[in-house]
Amino acid sequence: MKRSDIAAIEAQFDVTLPGEYVSLLLAYPKDLPEVVSGLELYNQQWELVSDNESVRKGPLWGVTWPAHYFVIGSDGAGNYFCIDTKHTAPPILFFDHDDRTFRQEAPSLAEWLPQLRELHS
């Protein structure tokens, strides 16, 4: 992804993405299994835009999506991974549509990446 893509996303959703996440998008880890980029951790602008538009259209399973939460991926089953853009080093959050709650998946992006590698190894 290019800086101009990230700037367009930030403008569209009126957010400032944390530096660690921006760095990851600019230099997406080549050692992540390919399946990760289509699910848990998107690396395409259209995926980020599509899911962030979708969750903001109205109540999602009865939950109003916080404007400062930004979808970074999904599990492919209607649940989303996101970050809180109010934090410079945000934890990875998981939105569970069954119980309509957000829970912490990992304390940071740096700690989540090894979990993804292990999950898909």
Residue 31 has pLDDT above 90, yes or no: no
Q: How confident is the model at residue 36 (pLDDT cuts 50, 70, 90)?
A: confident
pLDDT at 45 (0 to 100): 96
Over residues 43-54, the mean pLDDT reads 96
How far is 27 from 113, CA to CA, in rounded Å? 14
What is the secondary structure of 24-73 as a DSSP string? Answer: HHHT--TTS-HHHHHTTS--SHHHHHHHHHHHHSS-BTTBPPPTTEEEEE
Considering the four listed CATH numbers 3.40.50.10860, 3.40.1580.10, 1.10.10.10, 3.40.50.720, the one that applies to the domain covering 3-119 is 3.40.1580.10
Calpha distance 31→41 (Å, rounded): 13
Average pLDDT over residues 68-84: 96
Contacts of 14 (CB under 8 A, 6+ apart): 67
Domain ranges, ordered by start, for the chain = 3-119
For the chain, the average pLDDT equals 94
Q: How far apart are CA 96 and CA 75, in angstroms?
A: 10
What is the pTM for the complete model shown? 0.94
Task: Return the pLDDT at 38.
Answer: 81
